[in-house]
């Protein structure tokens, strides 16, 4: 399965957005919003889903940590 996301990184906020059909049917929209923190050592954020593209629901949280 392949999905295509729009991506932006501005003011220490990383956003991924899938809101258009790609190689798979689009039954719902997805987005990830993460905040760069700890001097660039972590990105904490959450994935969200939307059935109408307007109201977003929390799917799951995620924490990326730089180890090297």
Give a yes or no: residue 20 inside a domain. Answer: yes
pLDDT recorded at residue 1: 67
For every one of its 68 residues, what pLDDT tens digit does the chain have, with 9 covering 90 and above?
678 899 999 999 999 999 888 887 778 999 999 999 988 899 999 999 999 888 999 999 999 999 98
The closest alpha carbon to 30, from 14, 53, 63, belongs to 53
Give a yes or no: residue 54 inside a domain. Answer: yes
Give a yes or no: residue 11 inside a domain. Answer: yes
Work out how many domains the chain is built from and give that number.
1
pLDDT recorded at residue 56: 95
Give residue 14's domain range: 6-65
Give a yes or no: residue 1 inside a domain. Answer: no
Q: How far apart are CA 24 and CA 47, in angstroms?
A: 19
Q: How far apart are CA 37 and CA 41, in angstroms?
A: 6
Give a yes or no: residue 13 inside a domain. Answer: yes
Question: Do 32 and 15 form a contact (C-beta atoms < 8 A)?
Answer: yes
pLDDT recorded at residue 68: 82
The pTM of the full predicted model, rounded to 2 decimals, is 0.84
pLDDT recorded at residue 7: 97
Sheet containing 6-10, strands listed edge to edge, beginning at the edge strand earlier in sequence: 6-10, 13-18, 29-37, 42-50, 57-65
């Amino acid at each position: 399965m392949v999905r295509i996301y729009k991506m932006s990184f501005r003011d220490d906020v990383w956003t991924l957005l899938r809101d258009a059909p790609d190689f798979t049917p689009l039954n719902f929209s997805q987005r990830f919003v993460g905040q760069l923190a700890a001097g660039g050592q972590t990105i904490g954020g959450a994935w969200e889903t939307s059935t109408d593209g307007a109201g977003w629901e929390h799917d799951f949280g995620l924490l990326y940590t730089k180890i090297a």
